[in-house]
Chain A
Amino acid sequence: MPAITYIEFDGTEYHVDVAVGSSVMEGALNNMIDGIVAECGGCCVCCTCHCMIDPEWAEIAGGPNQEEAELLEMVDVREQTSRLSCQIQVTEEMEGMVVRLPESQY
């Protein structure tokens, strides 16, 4: 299982193994990482699982799909590598990937 590092806004780091095929959002939920709320459970409707991919990993994580991009337009602090973590499917290539979480999901 690829190990992914989640960094909360306050700097708290979590290094967790996330199953290939699950989403970056599920990895956070399964490890009680608070910075991801995921109200809708991963259907790309609520915009409460926003994360910022470390620029070094942006290419591997890929860019947002159209629906996701529209939702991302409305997040408070959007960065170049912002994604909705429910839409990122974990692959073997993500071993070591770093994602940062925003101060708030609302």
Chain B
Amino acid sequence: MDLSEHAVIVGASHAAVQLMISLRQLGWIGQITVISEEFYMPYQRPPLSKGYLSGDLAEERLLLRASETYEKLKVQFKLGCRVTELDAKQKQLILCNGERISFTKLALCTGARVRRLEMPGSDLKHVHYLRNLDDVKAIRKSASKATKAVIIGGGYIGLETASSLTKAGISVTILESESRLLKRVACKEVSSFYQRLHSENGVQIKLNCLVTAMHGNSDSDCVTHVVFDDGSELEANIVIIGVGVIPNTELASEAGLVVENGIVVDEFAQTSHPDIVAAGDCTFHSNPLLKKSLRLESVPNASEQAKAAAASLCGIKKAYSELPWFWSDQFDAKLQIAGISQGYTEAVVRGDASIGRSFAVFYIKNQQIIAADCINRPKDFMVAKKLILQQTAIDVAALVDEGTELKHLLIN
């Protein structure tokens, strides 16, 4: 590592911030440049659909680090600048203004973008997606005049948005195409709980429904209704679409890097190019702990993977092999998720999911716990992480018995 080297990070994200800090800690003395198409210094994304949307959290509190921190780290930012091409052979990036930037090492922290629903009327005013700070600023502006919100998509983003808009005094309806909320990521008990939580807070939920168009006011181009496949309509003066994200892999794939459902990296965050690493939501990464490759949309993943990426750029092998975890805040329910439930054969409940706001669900496969959804149970969550990592057969009867302390199931 020497002064003439130049590390470039594409994307001003959670991963980028951790990467630059780790680079300096590992002794990278060369230049570091961050290029981002957004105009903001790195900010936290999780609060966008939660505290920032509801108005509880001010914009300046979203910043990941104070500006002086970046001065101390001697990191240059190029904001509002889109990278249009990666020339992996020449080790150059081409920016939207034609500028070429040479790098010795490159980190792709390009994240993901929303999946768009194209239909007649989907370009009307007050129809929004939620991913970036600008998206939420626009939602807040529309919401300030709205009384009826329709949210398309009953996943975590949709549910958090429903909670935040309800708190802001707007009447909210969630539309979900599947037979239950959170169908792809949670068991029936958790889906039922969220249906109840939202209903008890006045949110309307319509399942098994398909929106095929949006109608608007012909004078102002503002959305007024969503239209279902059976021709029926529902009034709305703001619509928010939350139907998942797509990883930003185009720079990598066009440069010839290996891409699947994300930029393919190994446990060291190394791409198929020796001088290029990638970290965060954009990666399809190998996780030795889970013994498989996967793509995650998660802050802890972005940060921990970025540490491995920085190490790789410095020629150090530091494997990223963490248990994924996530959280979601809606109304008075704080959910903490440990592990990945995909492939479970049995889900068991500790506590009562049908009343109140406190229970935990454990997902079991081959007699072992592979994941847990903990609602207002921070202690159970902390133990669950350890139980998953333990990878031993679990006594299900004891697991669901509230008389048995969960931590007594830990070995050691």
Chain A residues in the interface with B (C-beta under 8 A): 19, 26, 29-32, 34, 39-41, 43, 45-47, 67, 70-71, 73-74
Contact = CB atoms under 8 A, between A and B. Distances in A.
B222 interface: no
Contacts of A43: 46-47, 327, 329
A70 B378 contact: yes
A79 B73 CA distance: 33
B398 interface: no
Contacts of B334: 45, 67
B72 interface: yes
B25 interface: yes
A99 to B, nearest CB: 18
A93 B378 CA distance: 31
- Consensus secondary structure, chain B interface: helix
B69 A71 contact: no
Contacts of B378: 45, 47, 67, 70-71, 74
Contacts of B336: 45
Nearest to A19: B66
A32 B72 CA distance: 10
Contact of A46 (B68, B72, B300): B300
A104 to B, nearest CB: 14
A39 B65 contact: no
A29 B44 contact: no
B46 A32 contact: no
Contacts of A30: 65-66, 68-69
B72 A41 contact: no
A37 to B, nearest CB: 8
Nearest to A45: B327
A71 B336 CA distance: 12
Interface size class of B (residues with CB under 8 A): 20 to 34
Interface in B307-352: 325, 327, 329, 334, 336
B382 interface: yes
B382 A41 contact: no
A15 B73 CA distance: 17
B389 to A, nearest CB: 10
16 contacts: A26-B66, A32-B24, A32-B73, A39-B300, A39-B303, A40-B46, A40-B300, A41-B64, A43-B46, A43-B47, A43-B327, A45-B327, A45-B336, A47-B382, A70-B379, A71-B378
B262 to A, nearest CB: 21
B48 to A, nearest CB: 12
Nearest to B67: A30
Contacts of A19: 66
Contact of B379 (A29, A39, A46, A73): A73
Interface in B37-68: 44, 46-47, 64-66, 68
Nearest to B377: A70
A59 to B, nearest CB: 25
Contact of B299 (A31, A41, A71): A41
A41 B65 contact: no
Contacts of A46: 300, 325, 327
Contacts of A26: 66
A21 B39 CA distance: 25
Contact of A41 (B44, B68, B73, B379): B44
B21 interface: yes
B272 to A, nearest CB: 29
Contacts of A32: 21, 24-25, 69, 72-73
B383 interface: yes
